[in-house]
Amino acid sequence: MTAKDVFHSMFQYKAWSEAELFKILTESPSTFIAPHLTEALWHLAHINIVDNLFKGRLLGDPMPCSSTTTNEPQHLSDLSLKFSKTNNWFVNYTKSVTEAELEERLNFVFEDGKPGNMKKSEMLIHVLSHGLLHRGMVSGLIPFAASEGWQDHFTTFLKH
């Protein structure tokens, strides 16, 4: 299996896992009584902002946003659509990217104004690991999601 194949599989997993999480959050009657739902939605918005920030960098856009957080109230339906759009882009990108392109280095400016230089493969690894970190935080904030059927496991994804 090539690095390109691994990235493609992992971004398919990311898209699946996040779609399943939004499905549980949208369909669950528990959603409206969860005490930490606002914080969970903040983490999800942060994931999407960072995903889009790195998408922009991969496309050669120097900085598509000025912050990695938002204080705006988040809505499940809006976030779900944003995640779907961004995840579809990453799935398509990793399907078509070449091994040589994965090794290309890009210069950019981090959100804090400091210079950055990363391989495209390193950017993809960051997007994946960053999303996993914050989805883990979300699962701790909304424990009902697991009882309602959400399983954020790569092995569960592989069974589908």
Q: What is the pLDDT of residues 95-122, one digit of tens each?
A: 999 999 999 999 998 888 889 999 999 9
Return phi, psi of residue 137, to 5°.
-65, -40
- Asked whether the predicted pLDDT for residue 157 surpasses 60, the reply is yes
Query: Is the pTM above the cut of 0.85?
Result: yes
Question: What are the strands, taking DSSP E only, across the chain?
Answer: 105-109, 115-119
- Asked whether the predicted pLDDT for residue 125 surpasses 80, the reply is yes
How far apart are alpha carbons 46 and 56 in whole angstroms?
15
Tell me the pLDDT tens digit for each residue of 20-69: 999 888 887 666 666 788 888 999 999 999 999 999 999 988 665 678 88
Q: What mean pLDDT, rounded, does the chain reach?
A: 89
For residue 83, give Cα distances in angstroms to 45, 63, 66, 119, 150.
Answer: 9, 19, 19, 24, 17
- Asked whether the predicted pLDDT for residue 91 surpasses 80, the reply is yes
Q: Taking residues 131-152, what's their average pLDDT?
A: 82
**Residue 13: per-residue pLDDT:** 97
How far apart are alpha carbons 29 and 17 in whole angstroms?
20
